[in-house]
Amino acid sequence: MTLRLRAQWVLPITGPPIGNGEVVVEAGRIAAVRPAPPAVPDARDLGNAILMPGLVNAHTHLDYTVMRGALEDRPFFAWVRALVACKTVLDPEDWLASATFGAAEAVAGGITTVGDCTDSGAALHAAIALGLSGVIYQEVFGIDESRTVDAIMTELRGKVERMQSDATGTALTIGISPHAPYTVRPALFRALADYARGAQLPLCIHAAESRAEQELLQAGAGPIARMFARRGIAWQAPGVSTIAYLDAQGVLGPHTLLVHGVQVTEADRALWRERGAAWAHCPKSNAKLGNGVAPLTLLAGRDDPTDCPRVGLGSDSVASNNTMDLFEEMRVAVLLQRAVQQDVGALTAREIVEMATLGGARALGMDAQAGSLEPGKRADLCAVCPGALHGVPVYDPYSTLVYTARASDVMLTMIGGEIRYDATRGNRIEDRFPHLDLRPIRRRLDVAARKIRARYPFDTEVTS
């Protein structure tokens, strides 16, 4: 079946914007991207919309959607501890409702591809339910010796095999995520590196996110080190940066996605470039948790024209970001870089739109299929119809997307040629997902939220 979508602007990303453009979709793939020929009866005209590739959210935790607003205003490590406490009150049905609601929020906001880290595994089923493409990384934890590396690895292999079987026939790949240098011990990192290499699994690691993490690695000091001492967790500070430490564990490679990268240096950059690792940039989460502003010029190699940046934009979980709105994320990314560097050229609207599409696809190793409107790629796209007041007029679609648009301006999301969200189906959000009944999911989310409310505000022993 052939579908023709027309819009006032078509944004291929790999080429200049096309005024009054058309995207032709055939058998789930893009067949043509061009100026719209004279009207034909079967074309769908999206009016004054901007038709663009689906957004790539390079770092999410769909599982944590129900924690939106539950863990506010704590220092980074106290926030981590509160999140761990909050997780204990939820059961598998809660996780599934939470992740599915989050996947619906993603698709309604124009996101078609995710790099998601899941502990419960629910995010995989949520992504399948909404038709999302991407990489679902099974998280692994194990800083103390309470479980042997062998026991953790045996359990992980079983989980990954089940997930790979469940993902058969979808556009989802399964990876593994050793959570962070302060939640995974060295022997476990090395076992995970061997497993990932042998089974060809992509890796995702939270890295160089906070000063607390840096203090732990460089000097064995700070709030994380104090918690280790209280709990009797053995720790020898390696005395090096996070990137050097991860490299010594063997986990940096071309299939490794690093997340955050606030505390990084030129020397680190040389190392991750040599290994070919990619980054997910999460500016709102970094700012809200008081961790800082990641040096994007370093992450993206922007001062080096030979670089092909493998940096994507990530919302991180709504437990730290509160909204999965990649338009707001783009806006914050540009404003923070310009504010910190005191330079309007620090990051442009066109560059951040590329990061939120093709950059994310590159970071996840999916750029042959996603991230731009090009014939042969999967028909993953979204149409953004800037609001009747705040989105008018449009002179430059890049400027409108970054400085004006909101997730709620998305009118249509298509994944693999299937319409997964269509705002013209009804005024109520529940009516806009052709393949999903959101009502029972919302009811179950409310049950999970009541459990969290009963334990709120998750005060933990860590205060700094």
Instruction: Check: CB of residue 320 under 8 Å from CB of residue 273.
Output: no
# binding residues, Zn ion (CB under 5 A): 1
Show the binding pattern over residues 144-183: x = contacts Zn ion (CB under 5 A), - = does not. ----------------------------------------
For the bound state, the minimum distance from the C-beta of residue 179 to Zn ion, rounded and expressed in Å, comes to: 8
For the bound state, the minimum distance from the C-beta of residue 27 to Zn ion, rounded and expressed in Å, comes to: 35
Environment class of 222 (CB within 10 Å of its CB; exposed 0-12, middle 13-18, buried 19+): buried
Query: Which is nearer to Zn ion, 258 or 382 (by Cβ)?
Result: 258
Query: Which is nearer to Zn ion, 50 or 67 (by Cβ)?
Result: 67
Residue with tokens 């993902």: 167
Query: Which is nearer to Zn ion, 8 or 320 (by Cβ)?
Result: 320
Query: Following DSSP, what letter does each residue of 152-221 receive, concatenated?
Result: HHHHHHHHHHHHHHHTTTSSEEEEEEE--TTTB-HHHHHHHHHHHHHHT--EEEEES--HHHHHHHHHS-
Q: Contacts with Zn ion in 316-375 (CB under 5 A)?
A: 316
Residue with tokens 């338009």: 327
Show the binding pattern over residues 295-324: x = contacts Zn ion (CB under 5 A), - = does not. ---------------------x--------
For the bound state, the minimum distance from the C-beta of residue 280 to Zn ion, rounded and expressed in Å, comes to: 8
Instruction: Check: CB of residue 231 under 8 Å from CB of residue 144.
Output: yes
Q: How many residues does the chain have?
A: 464
Looking at this protein, which amino acid is placed at residue 241? S
Q: Are strands 50-53 and 18-26 parallel, antiparallel or unpaired?
A: unpaired
Query: Which is nearer to Zn ion, 316 or 367 (by Cβ)?
Result: 316
Burial 302-332 (b: 16+ CB within 10 A, else e): beeeeeebbbbbbbbbbbbbbbbbbbbbbbb
Query: Which is nearer to Zn ion, 43 or 293 (by Cβ)?
Result: 293
Show the binding pattern over residues 78-117: x = contacts Zn ion (CB under 5 A), - = does not. ----------------------------------------
Show the binding pattern over residues 183-222: x = contacts Zn ion (CB under 5 A), - = does not. ----------------------------------------
For the bound state, the minimum distance from the C-beta of residue 283 to Zn ion, rounded and expressed in Å, comes to: 13
For the bound state, the minimum distance from the C-beta of residue 80 to Zn ion, rounded and expressed in Å, comes to: 10
For the bound state, the minimum distance from the C-beta of residue 316 to Zn ion, rounded and expressed in Å, comes to: 5
For the bound state, the minimum distance from the C-beta of residue 258 to Zn ion, rounded and expressed in Å, comes to: 11
Query: Which is nearer to Zn ion, 181 or 391 (by Cβ)?
Result: 181
Query: Which is nearer to Zn ion, 104 or 205 (by Cβ)?
Result: 205
For the bound state, the minimum distance from the C-beta of residue 59 to Zn ion, rounded and expressed in Å, comes to: 6
Query: Which is nearer to Zn ion, 316 or 325 (by Cβ)?
Result: 316
The residues, ordered by sequence, that sit 6+ positions from 378 with a Cβ below 8 Å of its Cβ are: 28, 29, 30, 133, 171, 369, 370, 415, 416, 417
The closest residue (CB) to Zn ion is: 316
Q: Are strands 311-313 and 55-60 parallel, antiparallel or unpaired?
A: unpaired
For the bound state, the minimum distance from the C-beta of residue 285 to Zn ion, rounded and expressed in Å, comes to: 7
Looking at this protein, which amino acid is placed at residue 212? A
Query: Which is nearer to Zn ion, 259 or 448 (by Cβ)?
Result: 259
Residue 131's region, left for phi above 0, alpha for psi from -120 to 50, else beta, is left
- Compute how many other C-beta atoms are within 10 angstroms of the C-beta atom of residue 368: 12
Binding site for Zn ion (CB under 5 A): 316
